[in-house]
């Protein structure tokens, strides 16, 4: 049954990836700018620009360009960058690690802290009001402002963490962890607020159910009631918001990677868009789409594990 669920979700992922590639291809083509101009510079003559567009295939109709790209993409060939002529897949593979390190780290921190805060606040009282207020404040803080404040405090004044840069895990695990602390916290703060509020509401609702009163009357410890029964009952809405947080973190990496000079997919997307580098932008869209599909699939599998009835949906 679980294999059928996975197969159905993967089948739905194919049209999703196709639609995402078409939409991004058209939108990028409509943006002002010219890859030939970015490549040759502002002093290029019209003849030179026309020759560059012809060489790059930019003089062809948009549907022809997309068809050529798609025919290569289904074979695993995402083409080459229009600007540096390097294979897109190689460039993005080099930048995938930093982005995933940042996103996964932020989601793990947000999930751990958010769930613990939410469960504690579910019993209402002062902590519940603090979590409610903290969620509003956390969501209102812009990523770029929070990142800059953390750099000023912990990198400039206290000199505890490096202000910018990324150290690969294979080179220096301690340096890798040290370089990720500030960007992970920057990305995790609003995510923690969302998860904490959802956990608080879901667990509080579960604690009001009849089965909880029955468990307490039977002498089950409060810890077991909350963490083994109420939290499990509230797990599906919490998992939903965690999946949404992960997907939302993909967009948040753009600002965070720029602030902390992390060579990830978000910064690459910004650079490719400014240069009108269509193959590189399409490659980023493909990678982001595959990440979203993988996250949604994991969430669906978790749904099926927690609630067997969802396996048939």
| Residues contacting residue 310 through CB under 8 Å, at least 6 positions apart | 5, 300, 303, 304
The band of 309, judged by pLDDT with boundaries at 50, 70 and 90, is low
Q: What is the mean pLDDT of residues 267-277?
A: 82
Measured distance CA(128)–CA(160) in Å, rounded: 32
3-class DSSP assignment, residue 195: helix
Element (H, E) at 160: none
CATH number for region 93-274: 1.10.3720.10
pLDDT digits (tens, 9 = 90+) for 73-111: 888 888 888 878 889 999 999 999 999 999 999 999 999
Measured distance CA(85)–CA(280) in Å, rounded: 10
Q: Are 259 and 148 in contact (CB under 8 A)?
A: yes
Position with higher pLDDT, 89 vs 135: 89
The band of 308, judged by pLDDT with boundaries at 50, 70 and 90, is low
The band of 48, judged by pLDDT with boundaries at 50, 70 and 90, is confident
Q: What region, left, alpha or beta, does residue 125 occupy, with left being phi > 0 and alpha being psi -120 to 50 degrees?
A: left
Q: Where are the domains of the chain?
A: 93-274
Q: What is the mean pLDDT of residues 191-203?
A: 89
The band of 275, judged by pLDDT with boundaries at 50, 70 and 90, is confident
Q: Would you give the distance in Å from CA 50 to the centre of its chain? A: 38
Secondary structure of 227-286 in HEC code, one letter for each residue: HHHHHHHCHHHHHHHHHHHHHHHHHHHHHHHHHCCCCCHHHHHHHHHHCCCHHHHHHHHH
Position with higher pLDDT, 225 vs 99: 99
Secondary structure of 124-139 in HEC code, one letter for each residue: CCHHHHHHHHHHHHHH
Listed residue (288, 235, 260, 256) closest to 118, CA to CA: 235
pLDDT beyond 90 at 186: yes
Q: What region, left, alpha or beta, does residue 261 occupy, with left being phi > 0 and alpha being psi -120 to 50 degrees?
A: left
Listed residue (29, 23, 82) closest to 54, CA to CA: 82
Measured distance CA(272)–CA(266) in Å, rounded: 10
């Amino acid at each position: 049954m679980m294999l059928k669920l996975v197969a159905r979700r993967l089948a739905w992922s194919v049209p999703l990836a196709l639609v995402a590639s078409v939409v991004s291809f058209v939108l990028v083509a409509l943006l002002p700018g010219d890859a030939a101009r970015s490549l040759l510079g502002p002093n290029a003559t019209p003849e030179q620009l026309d020759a560059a567009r012809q060489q790059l295939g930019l003089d062809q109709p948009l549907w022809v360009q997309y068809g050529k790209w798609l025919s290569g993409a289904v074979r695993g060939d995402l083409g080459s960058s229009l600007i540096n002529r390097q294979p897109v897949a190689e460039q993005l593979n080099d930048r995938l690690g930093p982005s995933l390190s940042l996103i996964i780290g932020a989601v793990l921190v947000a999930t751990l802290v958010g769930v613990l805060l939410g469960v504690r606040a579910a019993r209402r009282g002062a902590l519940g009001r603090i979590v409610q207020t903290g969620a509003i404040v956390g969501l209102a803080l812009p990523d770029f402002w929070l990142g800059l404040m953390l750099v000023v405090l912990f990198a400039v004044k206290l000199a505890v963490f490096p202000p910018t840069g990324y150290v690969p895990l294979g080179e220096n695990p301690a340096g890798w962890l040290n370089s990720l602390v500030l960007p992970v916290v920057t990305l995790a703060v609003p995510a923690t607020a969302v998860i904490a509020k959802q956990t608080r509401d879901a667990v509080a609702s579960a604690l009001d159910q009849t089965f909880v009163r029955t468990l307490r009357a039977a002498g089950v410890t409060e810890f077991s009631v909350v963490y083994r029964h109420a939290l499990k009952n509230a797990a599906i809405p919490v998992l939903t918001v965690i999946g949404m947080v992960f997907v939302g973190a993909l967009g948040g990496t753009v600002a965070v990677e720029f602030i902390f000079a992390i060579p990830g997919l978000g910064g690459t997307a910004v650079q490719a868009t400014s240069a009108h580098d269509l193959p590189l932008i399409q490659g980023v869209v493909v990678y982001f789409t595959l990440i979203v599909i993988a996250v949604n699939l994991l969430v669906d599998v978790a749904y099926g594990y927690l609630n067997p009835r969802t396996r048939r949906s």
